[in-house]
Amino acid sequence: MTVRKVLRGAIGVAGFLLVAEAAGRLGLIDPTILPLTSTVLGRTIGLAADGDFLSEVGATLLACFAGLLIAIVLAVPAGVALGTLPKVERATRPLLEFLRPIPSLALIPLALFVFIPTHNAKIALIVYACTWPLLINTMYGVRDVDPLAKETLRSFGFGSLAVLWRVTMPSTAPFIATGIRLAASVTLIVAVSVELVAGGEGIGAFLTHMSTGAGNMDFVLAGTIWAGAIGLVANFLLTGAERRLFRWHQERVGGTS
Amino acid sequence: MLEINHLRHSYGSHEVLGGIDLKVDEGQLLCIVGPSGCGKSTLLRSIAGLLKPTQGEILINGVPVAGTPDNLAVVFQDYSRSLFPWMSVADNVALPLRRKGMSGARRRTSALEALEQVGLEGAAAKYPWQLSGGMQQRVAIARALAYRPAFMLMDEPFGSVDAQTREDLEDLVLQVRGVHGMTIVLITHDIDESVYVGDRVVVLSKAPSRIVGDLSVGLPYPRDQIATRQLPEFVRLRADVGRLVRGVPG
Amino acid sequence: MTAVSAQRPGVARRVAGRILSLWIMPVALVLWEVVTRWIQAVYFPPPSTVLVRLHELWFSGSWRTFFLTDDAIGNFLPSFTRLAIGWVLGCAVGVGVGVALGRSTRLSAYVDPLVHFGRSIPPPTLVPVFLVLFQFGGSMQVATIVFGVVWPIMINAIEGARYVDRQYLDTAQVFSLSRLDRLRRVILPAAAPKIFAGLRISVSLSLILMIISELVGSTDGIGHRMLQAQGLFDIPTTWAAIVLLGLMGFLLNTTFLLVERRILAWHRGARRTD
């Protein structure tokens, strides 16, 4: 069954590539505008060995990692605090509800003013964008903690810090992991966007640079394919890690719903 | 009316139905009873055309079943998943009538009539999930009635309701059968129920199941939850069916 | 708070309570005003300046144009149009293809890898591609929005349509519903909660993609106007645009949630009694 599924998937991908190639060769699509699939695939493989392109990819990924890390350090403790202190949460809720809908990319021009090298502006925006899924998932997770588990530990004379460390944090961890996965998928979108607008280094800057020169569409598409591949791998790794680390959580959630 | 010849079915290497032969006459109320996991539901799904049996044939009025027969309605055990939660009770009952080429107004009148027959005329505008389990199963019965089938299949229809509701629903089935005179095949694991409701009880063995008993129930109508169950004939039949279900030689 | 809820407050008191719970908003605004005036930060104008700019730039027009200025009409209209067209197209394609794929295991086995790859491409990377393919003008922005929102919608629709309760389908078959009725009255409603989950994500995503497509390759629109202000070092206008986009995001989300609540009322009701 799974073998057949993999086979069908492979046939689907191969079919798509062949149709696109044929459309180009038969003149249905103008190859000077949209290059042949074989050309694009060749470029894609070529870019993997291209030091310049790799350093652009590195710059993007570095910003993503840095932004995500800073966001975790800021948003997870904030989420725990808001989750454990309902009064503070209630007071700040209108403020958060007002800030949350502000689209992160609307802040690009402002960030470019405030954070001087483009690289810093990029990281700052990634932090902003990642904060929301992290904060909300953490808060939700803390509120979801079984009160009985907390009571049990307290009845054995443990203090609130011990309760936080031994009950609240472990049972919130899967929610934080979900927040991290959601935030990670946002980082690449924000990073590429800032690079497209402001240039500097990174995949977005590479794409802008290539698309302004005529006849470089094959490079642009190859870069896009790599961006997709990075997104795919990141999602695959994070989903896999989440499943492996928190199997107990999935079972519990699956069992009650 | 219904004729089943040499019906066999297997899931992979696990044989559930081991050759079933059965004839049901027009207007009969047949109860099929058997131990749990004996393939009762597989049998019902085959008759309803929801499942293609591995071997054998099923004829309704002499026509082989391929797909779901037109004049057949089914009442499932799990009412909460067989009624659509996004439709009102009246819409649920009226839905199957769309296929009958009726106007919207006629569909609605038929649905309300059917609801009245099951004593739920007041619930038409409600959603199924706003009703109790027993009431939801009444809605499912009303839906089957509105469809005016010649043949009604009921798959453990009262398996998920409490005892009191169960008795009310058993009487409801007897009552609508009296009014409409359709053929009914009711599947149950409850021995008392099969004897109380049916004019005939067929007992299935454990998987791979075969028919191990076929009893005619001669209890008088109208049946009564207390008086009928006290009759010596009822007690005798119940004991017979019970022995057959447990596989104890009579 | 507990004393009030103990005696079941009237509507007036509940509304008053709601308003009182917003106390942090004026406090934050005043604080922001005082601090920014005090430290005179160049990039952080006081909120009063931003609001005045927001008003005179876009909302000080004649009553005939609903108080919108020419600048507002010239930039809001193209933005909204592209957003609406892109979102609706993305929804139509995403739901249509998603439900078809969800109902056919075979078909979805063939295209699954392509769908997952398509979803993984960060949509802004396609702005340069579409810029070349469609040149400037409306289609590049619309294409970016469609490409971005179509994947989350499609993936949720696939899941929703794939896991329709077997008993619903059995019921539809037993009562010989036509194919169209089965789709419209059984499969689509059963998949609706999942489909709406995808649509909810797509609302904020479409706004983000509208902004990036206008920041990069546009000659009009709110994003373009914001970029212009940035180039002119016009900081209050940049802030006014941020506030405007924030309000837009808020309104779009709120409207969507209201519609969703209405359409999926049965779902919440059924879940509560389960």
The reply to whether A115 and A202 lie within a common domain is: yes
Tens of pLDDT along C51-81?
A: 999 998 898 888 888 888 888 888 899 999 9
Residue A256 above 70 pLDDT?
no
Question: What residues contact C49, with CB distance under 8 A and at least 6 apart?
Answer: C236
**Residue C174 to residue B127, Cβ atoms within 8 A:** no
B249: left (phi over 0), alpha (psi -120 to 50) or beta: beta
Q: Give CA–CA dist C266/C188, Å, rounded.
A: 14
CB contact under 8 A, C128 and A220: yes
Pairing of strands B14-24, B63-64: unpaired
Tell whether A5 is within 8 A of chain C (Cβ): yes
**HSE-up (13 A, CA, CB side) for residue B170:** 25
pLDDT in tens, C161-207: 999 999 999 999 988 888 999 999 999 999 999 999 999 999 999 99
Contacts of C175 in chain B (CB under 8 A): 73, 95-96, 99, 143, 147
**Residue range B214-227, pLDDT digits in tens:** 999 988 888 888 89
Q: Does C112 touch chain A (CB under 8 A)?
A: yes
Decide: A9 and C109 in contact? Cβ < 8 Å. yes
Q: Which residues in chain C are contacts of B141 at CB distance < 8 A?
A: none
- Please state the domain count of chain A: 2
Residues of C whose CB is below 8 A from B151: none
How far is C168 from B144, CA to CA, in rounded Å? 15
User: Which residue among C177, C190, C269 sits closest to B127, beta carbon to beta carbon?
Assistant: C269
Residue C90: pLDDT above 90? yes
- Does residue A250 surpass a pLDDT of 70? no
Contact call for B129 and C269, based on CB within 8 A: yes
- Percent residues over pLDDT 70 in chain B: 99
**Domain shared by A14 and A91, yes or no:** no
- What's the gap in Å between the CA of C195 and the closest CA on chain B? 15
A21 and A41 assigned to the same domain: no
Shared domain for A87 and A43, answered yes or no, is yes
Instruction: Give how far A252 is from chain C: nearest CA, Å.
Output: 18
For chain A, say whether C110 makes contact (Cβ under 8 Å): yes
Band (pLDDT 50/70/90 cuts) for residue C2 is very low
The architecture (CATH level 2) of C70-273 comes to Orthogonal Bundle (1.10)
Q: How confident is the model at residue C256 (pLDDT cuts 50, 70, 90)?
A: very high
* Nearest residue on chain A to C217, alpha-carbon basis: A197
* A-C contacts at Cβ under 8 angstroms: 153
- CA-CA distance, A8 to C115, in Å (whole number)? 13
Predicted pLDDT at A27 = 81
Please give the order of strands across the beta sheet that includes B183-188.
B72-75, B151-155, B183-188, B29-33, B200-204, B211-216
Q: By three-state DSSP, how is residue A201 classified?
A: coil
Give C151→chain B minimum CA distance, Å. 26
One domain for residues A24 and A53: no
**Is the minimum CB–CB distance between B152 and chain C shorter than 8 Å?**
no
- List the single range of A150-154, B17-21, B45-49 with lowest mean pLDDT: A150-154
Q: What is the pLDDT of residue C4?
A: 42
Contact check, Cβ <8 Å, A211/C121: no
Q: Distance from B212 to chain C by nearest Cα, in Å?
A: 29
For residue A65, what are its two tokens?
């990692």
What's the pLDDT tens digit per position in A57-104?
999 999 999 999 999 999 999 999 998 888 888 888 888 888 888 899
Residues 122-141 of C with CB under 8 A from A: 122-129, 131-133
User: What's the farthest any 2 CA atoms get from each other in chain C?
Assistant: 75
Query: How many other C-beta atoms can be found within 10 angstroms of the C-beta atom of residue C167?
Result: 16
Chain C interface test: which of B41, B86, B127 (most C C-beta within 10 Å): B86
Same domain? For A44 and A8 the reply is: no
- CB contact, 8 Å: A116 with chain C? no
CB of C113 within 8 Å of a chain A CB? The answer is yes
For residue B222, cis peptide bond before it (omega within 30 degrees of 0): yes
Q: What is the pLDDT of residues A100-149, one digit of tens each?
A: 888 999 999 999 988 888 889 999 999 999 999 999 999 999 888 877 88
pLDDT in tens, B231-242: 999 999 999 999
CATH of domain B2-71+149-246: 3.40.50.300
A130: nearest Cα among A174, A189, A198, A172: A189
In chain B, residues with a C-beta closer than 8 Å to the C-beta of C171 are 74, 76, 82, 84
What residues of C are in the B interface, CB distance below 8 Å? 165, 167-168, 170-171, 173-178, 181, 185-186, 189-190, 192, 266-267, 269-270, 273-274
Range of the domain at A15: 1-30
Chains that touch B (3 or more CB pairs under 8 A): C
pLDDT score recorded for residue C5: 44
**Which residues on C lie below 8 Å from B67 (Cβ)?**
173
* Nearest residue of C to residue A109, measured between CA atoms: C230
User: For C263, what's the count of Cα atoms within 13 Å in the CB-facing half-sphere?
Assistant: 16
Domain boundaries, chain C: 70-273
Q: Are residues A76 and A135 in the same domain?
A: yes
Measured between alpha carbons, how far is B54 from B49 in angstroms, rounded to an integer?
Answer: 13
User: With contacts defined as CB-CB under 8 Å, which chain A residues touch C145?
Assistant: none
User: What is the rounded average pLDDT of the residues B136-163?
Assistant: 89
Nearest CA in chain B to C274: B129
The reply to whether A204 touches chain C by the CB within 8 Å rule is yes
Asked if A92 has any chain C CB less than 8 Å from its own CB, the reply is yes
Q: Chain C contact for A199, CB < 8 A?
A: no
pLDDT of residue C80: 94
Q: How many CB pairs under 8 A join B and C?
A: 74
Residues of C in contact with B76 (CB under 8 A): 167, 170-171
Q: How close does chain B come to C38, measured CA to CA in Å?
A: 58
For chain B, give every domain's residue range. 2-71+149-246, 80-148
* DSSP string for residues in A6-48: HHHHHHHHHHHHHHHHHHHHTTSS-TTTS--HHHHHHHHHHHH
Identity (one letter) of the amino acid at B148?
Answer: R
Residue keyed to tokens 């998943």: B81
In sequence order, what DSSP letters do the residues of C205-260 get, joined into one string?
Answer: HHHHHHHHHHHHS-SSSHHHHHHHHHHTT-HHHHHHHHHHHHHHHHHHHHHHHHHH
Q: Output the pLDDT for position A195.
A: 94
- Do the chains contact at C167 and B99, CB–CB below 8 Å? no
